[in-house]
């Protein structure tokens, strides 16, 4: 059997190892209820996504930027008349997100332990607020199984080149596993590595992308329970 050069596996965290986007959706429901007198649900959602898109370059990914974008949207749709009480409710909703207990996804622990036991170097690679990601990793109980943790502002080819050179044998001998085609899979394929898509039930509008066509290093799995078979087959 042909041996693969795969030595290092990167795991995304949010919506790959633990639930995340579902909390954003629940908070958006609460946000819509708070502003129901001023904006219909669809219009509010559209304005919120537009604000998040505008602000991404300023605030980066994560709950803090999301909270600021909700406030900005509330000011916009109420034409500046939003009350201090409603702003207070939005801030409270954001703080509550930052205190939510971490809920691991099915198969997450087994996939990480299995990849470690199979002798691969493991790197956790995630975007988001530094403090919040560190908190979630600590609560997840998975931190000790990773050789390295990289909390980054963007997931680009250059970022994967750098991370897999630092912690592995270069991107071409690496694999990235994650729920976002746009952030986890496409730039890793561009860097010459394996890109493994494991979809989550819901995808944030700003992470939407089409699956790559005709790339021999692209794989899609129904869930993380199938990862051990994939890496065994590549061996
Ligand atoms: Mg993710």
User: Residue 219 forms beta bridges with which residues?
Assistant: 196
Query: Which two three-digit tokens encode residue 13?
Result: 């965290």
Q: What is the pLDDT of residues 37-54, one digit of tens each?
A: 999 999 999 999 999 999
Q: What's the gap in Å between 180 CA and the centre of ligand 1?
A: 6
Average pLDDT for the chain: 95
Rounded CA-CA distance 186/163 in Å is 16
Q: Are 125 and 155 in contact (CB under 8 A)?
A: yes
For ligand 1, a single-atom ion, which residues have Cβ within 5 Å? 12, 14-15, 179-180
pLDDT of residue 4: 53
Rounded to an integer, what distance in angstroms lies between the CA atom of residue 210 and that of residue 47?
A: 24
Ligand 1 centroid – CA 232 distance (Å):
24
pTM higher than 0.85:
yes
Q: How many angstroms does the Cα of residue 178 sit away from the middle of ligand 1?
A: 6
Task: Answer yes or no: are the C-beta atoms of 122 and 177 closer than 8 Å.
Answer: no
High-pLDDT (> 90) share of the chain, %: 90
How many angstroms does the Cα of residue 96 sit away from the middle of ligand 1?
20
Q: How far is the CA of 80 from the centre of ligand 1 (A)?
A: 34
Q: How far is the C-alpha of 20 from the C-alpha of 57, rounded, in Å?
A: 21
- Other residues' Cβ atoms within 10 Å of the Cβ of residue 95: 11
Rounded to 10 degrees, the C-alpha dihedral 14/177/221/113 comes to: -90
**Token pair 């997450």: residue:** 108
More confident residue, 208 or 86: 86
Given a cut of 60, whether residue 107 has pLDDT beyond it is yes
Question: Ligand 1 center to residue 194 CA distance, Å?
Answer: 17
SS3 223: coil
Query: What DSSP character marks residue 156?
Result: -
What residues contact residue 106 under an 8 Å CB cut-off, 6+ apart?
Answer: 223, 224, 225
Burial class (CB within 10 angstroms; exposed 0-12, middle 13-18, buried 19+) of 2: exposed
Quick one: which H or E segment has residue 40? none
**Lowest-pLDDT range of 46-50, 64-68, 207-211:** 207-211
CA of 229: how far to CAs of 96, 107, 223, in Å? Answer: 38, 13, 12
Query: Please, which residues have CB within 8 angstroms of residue 8's CB and are 6 or more apart in sequence?
Result: 120, 121, 122, 123, 164, 167, 168, 169, 173, 174, 175
pLDDT of 3 > 50? The answer is no
């Amino acid at each position: 059997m042909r041996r693969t050069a795969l030595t290092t596996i990167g795991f995304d965290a949010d919506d790959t190892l633990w639930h995340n986007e579902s909390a954003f959706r629940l908070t958006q429901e609460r946000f819509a209820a708070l502003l129901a007198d001023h904006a219909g649900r669809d219009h509010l959602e559209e304005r919120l996504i537009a604000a998040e898109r505008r602000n991404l370059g300023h605030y980066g990914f994560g709950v803090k930027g999301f909270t600021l974008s909700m406030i900005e949207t509330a000011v916009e749709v109420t034409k500046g008349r939003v009350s201090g009480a409603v702003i207070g409710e939005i801030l409270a909703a954001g703080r509550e997100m930052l205190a939510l207990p971490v809920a691991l996804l099915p198969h997450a622990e087994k996939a990480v332990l299995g990849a470690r036991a199979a002798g691969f170097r493991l790197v956790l690679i995630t975007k988001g607020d530094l403090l919040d990601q560190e908190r979630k990793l600590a609560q997840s109980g998975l931190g000790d199984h990773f050789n390295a943790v990289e909390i980054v502002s963007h997931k680009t080819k250059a970022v994967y080149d750098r991370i897999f050179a630092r912690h592995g044998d270069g991107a071409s001998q690496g694999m990235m596993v994650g729920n976002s085609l746009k952030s986890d899979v496409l730039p890793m394929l561009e860097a010459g590595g394996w890109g493994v898509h494991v979809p989550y039930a819901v995808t944030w509008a700003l992470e939407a992308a089409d699956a790559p066509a005709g790339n021999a290093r692209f794989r899609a799995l129904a869930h993380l329970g199938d990862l051990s078979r994939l890496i065994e087959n590549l061996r």
